[in-house]
Amino acid sequence: MRRFCVIIFTLAFIFTLSGCSYETRIDKASIAETVTVEKGENGFVYSFYMLSDSEEPESVSIEGEDFEQACAMAKQKYIPDLSLTKMELFIVSNKVDNHILYDDVSFMASQYYISPRAYIAAADDNTMKFISESKEAPQKIEKHIILQKKEDKENSVNLLSIFNNFTDNENSDFNIFYISSDKELKITPIRISSEK
């Protein structure tokens, strides 16, 4: 029995010291949970809101022509280990043209490393501000989307349902929810078209 305890203690000590190697560990600060898109001066500003323990939202904002370029620039300059596997929300400002959202969703649907469960929505300025100021905003928005989806089954709310719409229909237009917030969050459906 004593020998068994010594072996267990030794193994526990070794595992504690060795931990995870850097190569196999994904730094928590590299995981983007929410991405927002707004118009910028020379293109679009993609803000990656990272998983963190802080009370305030932590984000990295990248200006680019589209989501593909923003991801590449984020990995190259700011977040080398950027992970989108746990992305829960992709929110686009209502001031961004529909074809940009369409192109971004088409890109995301073709990438295996982006969570297919990510909710896609458009939002007004108040909602975008709410996301940038409150760490609780993404959870509240996600909850509203889920509740609305139960009532309205016609709209595509996540990347997987939008991708399925692309493959099932000749016309690859799709509907998503538009989130507005004056005093409270409100959700209405809008149509996203591939036409520029």
- Per-residue pLDDT, averaged over 67-77, amounts to 93
Complete edge-to-edge strand list for the sheet that includes strand 119-123: 58-64, 44-50, 32-39, 89-93, 119-123, 174-181, 185-192
Angular region, 19: left φ>0, alpha ψ -120 to 50, beta rest: left
pLDDT of residue 176: 80
Domain residue ranges of the chain, discontinuous segments joined by +: 29-192
**Tokens 């099932």 sit on residue:** 168
The region of weakest confidence among 80-89, 133-142, 172-181 is 172-181
Q: At what angle do helices 98-109 and 159-168 cross, to 10 degrees?
A: 90
7: its two tokens = 């072996």
The residues near 49 (Cβ < 8 Å, ≥ 6 apart) are: 32, 33, 34, 35, 36, 57, 58, 59, 131, 138
pTM as predicted:
0.79
pLDDT digits (tens, 9 = 90+) for 149-177: 877 766 667 887 777 766 665 556 777 88
Query: Is residue 77's pLDDT more than 70?
Result: yes
